[in-house]
Chains A and B, each alone.
Chain A
Amino acid sequence: MSTTMTAPTSTNRTPANKPTTVVRVLHSEWVKARTLRSTWITTAATLLVIIGFGLIAARMQVSTHGTATGGPGNPPGISRNPLSTVLTGANLALLIVAVWGATVGAREYATGMIRTTMSAAPKRLPVLWGKLASFGTIVVPTLAIALAAAFFAGMRVLSGGDLPTMAWGDAGVARAVLGMGYYILGIGLIGLALGVLLRATAAAIGTVIGAVLFLPALASALLPTSWDTVLQYLPSNAGESFTTVTQGVGRLAPGAGALVFTAWVVVAIAGAAVALQRRDV
């Protein structure tokens, strides 16, 4: 045992070191995620946006079309689809989660932390799994709570105003609400994968928002209609097939859309995994 004058603690104290398993790397990534303030700020923002905007939209529907203020010339039929009303916040939440994912993926490259991380877990891939898992561990319950609250509280507001509502058990409703959660989560995961792939926060945010969310709209506006079938396979169009109750004309069926969207998520993650394995950190 060595004794020193300079420090009270000997350096060769043996800590109970355990093998670096995938589970331990996952735990490490979880500690990282929960010890960043931005994680919880973004979580709060996602909750607030989905629930808050849903309730506000429902109240606005009630005040313009409901019994309280609605005049004779304002039949209930004019009001929006009740599900899109209560899920108004989902569109903004989608952007938040996309940016969140991209930031989680690229953050360590921006700070230089990645060198420390990969020195502690030189097999590399478990780090990616850990980031995806911790992200999911926070995003899934957040979306579940937010979407459930927006749905049930929003529908109550609508029914209180005598506006048409949808019940959880109605055809396609549960699928659309859960689908919305899956879609937002999936875009977040694509953002994370792009963050790892591109190693730069701004580029990853630009790519996930631009290419994944806006490109389909742009493409359908610019390309001839003969391309429409192909465009249905883009992530956002595939997403739309299972996040709405009613089927749009020419859209993929919900099941097929979910499959196509899942394929995009898997491809993005696989791309990140391959890049992570091949290139220098």
Chain B
Amino acid sequence: MIEVINLTKRYGTVTAVDGISFTVQPGVVTGFLGPNGAGKSTTMRAILGLDRPTSGTTLVNGRPFRDAPAPLSELGAMLEAKSLDKGRSARNHLLAIGATIGVGARRVDEVLELVGLTEVGGKNAGGFSLGMGQRLGIASALLGDPGTIMLDEPVNGLDPDGILWIRTLLKRFAEEGRTVFVSSHLMSEMELTAEHLIVIGQGRILADMPMQSFIQRSSQHRVMVVSPDAPRLRDALSRPGVAVTSDAADRLEIEGITAREVGELAAVHGVTLHQLTDIAPSLEEAFMELTRDTVAFHGTVASHQGIAA
């Protein structure tokens, strides 16, 4: 379990993380979602004790990570995949890290196998592709068989196979009862991987809830209708709180009213419907909705001062 309590981290005048609090529970994949520069990596570095908080605390299994008796067996993390020495073989890299908790060749070979790097274990990590580096990073996170796994943007630069592999692995870890905390700026990826979602923007927590609630809460459903009588239905729908758009003569997209209500209204007015579809918003849309007001998300290049202000 990971707890972040009132964490603030400033780099000079830049406030990377601004008094955030959340708890990551075991048993589900928790997604940490936010655009680039939102403060995801900073938060993760603070949890690992790599960055000292300006104020606030982070706890792993109830205590600061640096006080863990055997850190690697409590929290396995991968921040940047290439956090390794290019001059060392993958196997020796893992042996060196494993030595801190007394695990040796047997476990190292086990995790190499698990991430599919057995064949190249003796090769220098410097020659690894991004995907292989990512797998090695995950192998080192798994070395101590930790109860908590934390990965920063693990699918960055991976091919579809690699992405699917990580997604499957993370879900499996969660099923095994581990705490899985994974960050991404890719909303589409989170939607497929995470059950719980913590959204961060400009160093603040914007949402902390199950994925389903997030999608439902943050954006309204839309209703898509195909009807030969589209104009007539459109007239019937003209009332406060309902917005109708149309991209074809027989198609309407309606916001602010449920599919059921549209169907009933059509029946009352004797409008023929060929299609009536409820369109659940994607996470992407929900996310856009949530972050609509914040400057940094609108492509305008937000200066550091702008973010801190």
Q: Nearest chain A CB to B89's CB is how many angstroms away?
A: 7
Other-chain contact of A19, B69, B84, B88, B103 (Cβ < 8 Å): B69
Interface of A is mostly: loop
Say yes or no: B101 contacts A17, CB within 8 Å: yes
Say yes or no: B73 contacts A17, CB within 8 Å: yes
* In the complex, chain B residues whose CB is within 8 Å of the CB of A118: 48-50
Other-chain contact of B83, A17, A24, A35, A113 (Cβ < 8 Å): A113
**Complex CA–CA separation, A107 to B142 (angstroms):** 25
Q: Nearest chain B CB to A26's CB is how many angstroms away?
A: 9
**Complex CA–CA separation, A143 to B162 (angstroms):** 49
Contact A112 to B80, CB < 8 A, known contacts A15-B144, A31-B95? yes
* In the complex, chain A residues whose CB is within 8 Å of the CB of B168: 6
Say yes or no: B142 contacts A20, CB within 8 Å: no
Say yes or no: B101 contacts A12, CB within 8 Å: no
* In the complex, chain A residues whose CB is within 8 Å of the CB of B176: 2, 11-12
Say yes or no: B101 contacts A2, CB within 8 Å: no
Say yes or no: A24 contacts B99, CB within 8 Å: yes
Interface residues of A in 121-137 (CB under 8 A from B): 121-124
* In the complex, chain B residues whose CB is within 8 Å of the CB of A30: 99
Say yes or no: A16 contacts B102, CB within 8 Å: yes
Say yes or no: B45 contacts A108, CB within 8 Å: no
**Complex CA–CA separation, A144 to B142 (angstroms):** 41
Other-chain contact of B82, A17, A25, A112 (Cβ < 8 Å): A112
Chain A positions 16 through 39: 1 when the CB is less than 8 Å from some CB of chain B, otherwise 0:
111110001101111110011110
Say yes or no: A18 contacts B173, CB within 8 Å: no
**Complex CA–CA separation, A167 to B106 (angstroms):** 53
Interface residues of B in 47-68 (CB under 8 A from A): 48-52, 65-66, 68
Interface-facing stretch out of B107-115, B219-227, B233-241, B270-278: B107-115
**Complex CA–CA separation, A7 to B113 (angstroms):** 8
Contact A116 to B97, CB < 8 A, known contacts A17-B70, A32-B85? yes
Interface residue B296 (Cβ < 8 Å from any Cβ of A): no
* In the complex, chain B residues whose CB is within 8 Å of the CB of A9: 110, 113-114
Interface residue B87 (Cβ < 8 Å from any Cβ of A): yes
Interface residue A119 (Cβ < 8 Å from any Cβ of B): yes
Say yes or no: A16 contacts B77, CB within 8 Å: no
Q: Nearest chain A CB to B36's CB is how many angstroms away?
A: 19
The number of residues on chain A lying at the interface, defined by a beta carbon within 8 Å of a beta carbon of chain B, is 48
Other-chain contact of B50, A12, A28, A36, A280 (Cβ < 8 Å): A280
Interface centre among B77, B106, B145, B165 (most CB of A within 10 A): B145
Contact A120 to B71, CB < 8 A, known contacts A16-B103, A31-B92, A107-B85? yes
* In the complex, chain A residues whose CB is within 8 Å of the CB of B107: 13, 15
Contact A27 to B99, CB < 8 A, known contacts A111-B84, A113-B85, A118-B50? yes
Say yes or no: B100 contacts A11, CB within 8 Å: no
* In the complex, chain A residues whose CB is within 8 Å of the CB of B205: none
**Complex CA–CA separation, A17 to B70 (angstroms):** 7
Q: Nearest chain B CB to A12's CB is how many angstroms away?
A: 5
Say yes or no: A35 contacts B88, CB within 8 Å: yes
Interface residue A14 (Cβ < 8 Å from any Cβ of B): yes
Give the B-binding residues of A (Cβ under 8 A).
2, 4, 6-9, 11-20, 24-25, 27-32, 35-38, 107-108, 111-124, 278-281
A/B interface sample: 6 pairs, CB < 8 A: A20-B100, A32-B88, A36-B85, A111-B84, A118-B49, A118-B50
Give the A-binding residues of B (Cβ under 8 A).
45, 48-52, 65-66, 68-73, 75, 77, 79-80, 82-89, 92, 95-103, 106-107, 110, 113-114, 140, 142-145, 165, 168-169, 172-173, 175-176
